[in-house]
Amino acid sequence: MRALVIVAHVALAFLCSASPLFDEEQVLFDAIPVGNHRVVITPQLSAYVKNALQTASIPGLSMGIVRLAEGRHLPAVELAAWGKQTEDGDGEDLTPDALFAIASCSKAFLVAAVGLLIDDYAHGRNVTPLPGSMRLLSWDTKMHHLLPDEWSFPEEWAENTLSLRDAFSHLSGLPRHDYSYRPGDTIGDVLRRLRHLPHAYELREQWMYNNQMFMFGAHIVAKLTNAPYRSFVESRIFNPLNMSSTTFSPSTAAKTGRLTQTWTRGSRRVPFWFPDEVAELFAGAGGIISSAEDMTKWLAVLLNEGTDPTTNTTIIPQAAFTEMITARTIVSGVAVGDLSIMGYGMGWFRMSYRGHDVVWHFGAIPGFSLLVAFLPADNLGAVLLANMDEKQDDNMRMLYRVIDEALGLSHDEEPTVSPVRPETAAYTEDGLIHALEEIVPVEALPLNLETYTGTYEDCAYGELTLCGPSSTSEYCSQVLADFAAVDAAQHIPPSEHGLIAAWDRAWSTHVRLRHTSGNSFVATFPRLFPQGYGRNTTPFEFWDSQISVGRAEFVLRDGEVVGFALVTEEQAAAARAKRTGGSLRDIADAWFRRTA
The per-residue pLDDT for range 75-104, each reduced to its tens digit, is: 999 999 999 999 999 999 999 999 999 999
Q: Is the pLDDT of residue 568 over 50?
A: yes
Angstrom distance (rounded) from CA 155 to CA 216: 17
What are the distances in angstroms from CA 397 to CA 3, 263, 421, 428, 468? 21, 20, 15, 21, 44
Nearest to 347 by CA among 87, 108, 586: 108
Looking at residue 285, what DSSP letter applies?
A: H
pLDDT tens, residue by residue, 49-66: 999 999 999 999 999 999
Please tell me the predicted confidence (pLDDT) of residue 38.
Answer: 84
Please tell me the predicted confidence (pLDDT) of residue 71.
Answer: 67
DSSP 446-494: SS-GGGG-EEEEETTTEEEEEB-TT--SHHHHHHHHHHHHHHHHHTPPP
Please tell me the predicted confidence (pLDDT) of residue 442.
Answer: 77
Q: Is the pLDDT of residue 490 over 90?
A: no
Angstrom distance (rounded) from CA 301 to CA 303: 5
Split at pLDDT 50, 70, 90, the class of 419 is low
pLDDT tens, residue by residue, 359-414: 999 999 999 999 999 999 999 999 999 999 999 999 999 999 999 999 999 987 77
Please tell me the predicted confidence (pLDDT) of residue 242.
Answer: 98
CATH architecture, domain 429-594 = Beta Barrel (2.40)
Q: Is the pLDDT of residue 482 over 50?
A: yes
Q: Which residue has the higher pLDDT, 512 or 426?
A: 512
Split at pLDDT 50, 70, 90, the class of 417 is confident
Triad 353, 174, 326: Cα angle to 5°: 35
**Positive or negative torsion for Cα 123, 126, 127, 131:** negative
Backbone φ and ψ for 40, nearest 5 degrees, come out as: -95, -50
Q: Which helix (H) or strand (E) holds 430?
A: helix 429-438
List the alpha helices (DSSP H) in 62-204.
Answer: 107-122, 143-146, 156-161, 164-168, 187-193
Please tell me the predicted confidence (pLDDT) of residue 384.
Answer: 98
Nearest to 278 by CA among 248, 300, 256, 243: 248
State mean pLDDT over 12-17: 33
Rama region for 339: left / alpha / beta (φ>0; ψ in -120 to 50; rest): beta
Q: Do the two domains 2-105+262-279+290-317+349-407 and 429-594 of this chain adopt the same fold?
A: no
Split at pLDDT 50, 70, 90, the class of 8 is very low
Split at pLDDT 50, 70, 90, the class of 472 is very high
Please tell me the predicted confidence (pLDDT) of residue 99.
Answer: 98
Split at pLDDT 50, 70, 90, the class of 28 is very low
Sequence ranges of the domains in the chain:
2-105+262-279+290-317+349-407, 129-225, 429-594
State mean pLDDT over 122-139: 93
pLDDT tens, residue by residue, 161-219: 999 999 999 999 999 999 999 999 999 999 999 999 999 999 999 999 999 999 999 99
DSSP 296-324: HHHHHHHHTTTEETTTTEESS-HHHHHHH
pLDDT tens, residue by residue, 246-280: 999 999 999 999 999 999 987 899 999 999 989 88
Q: Is the pLDDT of residue 496 over 60?
A: yes
Please tell me the predicted confidence (pLDDT) of residue 2.
Answer: 58
Please tell me the predicted confidence (pLDDT) of residue 378.
Answer: 96
What are the distances in angstroms from CA 298 to CA 77, 181, 520? 12, 30, 48
Count of residues making up the chain: 596
Split at pLDDT 50, 70, 90, the class of 233 is very high
State mean pLDDT over 526-530: 96
Split at pLDDT 50, 70, 90, the class of 131 is very high
Q: How many CB atoms lie within 10 A of CB 149?
A: 8
Q: Which residue has the higher pLDDT, 437 or 551?
A: 551
Split at pLDDT 50, 70, 90, the class of 37 is confident
Burial category of 94 from C-beta neighbours within 10 Å (exposed 0-12, middle 13-18, buried 19 and up) = buried
Mean pLDDT of the chain: 90
- Kindly report the CATH number that applies to the domain delimited by 2-105+262-279+290-317+349-407: 3.40.710
